[in-house]
Amino acid sequence: MEHLTHTLIRLYVAMTLPERRDERGDVPGWVMITVMTVGIVGIIWGVAQTELRAMLGAALKKLGPTG
């Protein structure tokens, strides 16, 4: 009887657990996202480099020395 109970419990667990998935991920997708992000940041930096530096300098100057 104990063997039957054990078997039924194993069957129940096997039927109710979610299906196992491959957890390796989509490496080419992540590479593409990373490359595209670097490209977008590079384009934005190239177009607005002067303005971004001026904004950062003004913000740092406004903060002044801390101490």
- Residue 47 CB-half CA count within 13 A: 6
CA 50 – CA 32 distance, rounded (Å): 28
Under the banding of pLDDT at 50, 70 and 90, the label for residue 4 is: confident
Give pTM, 2 decimals: 0.45
CB 33 within 8 A of CB 27: no
Under the banding of pLDDT at 50, 70 and 90, the label for residue 67 is: very low
pLDDT score at 56? 92
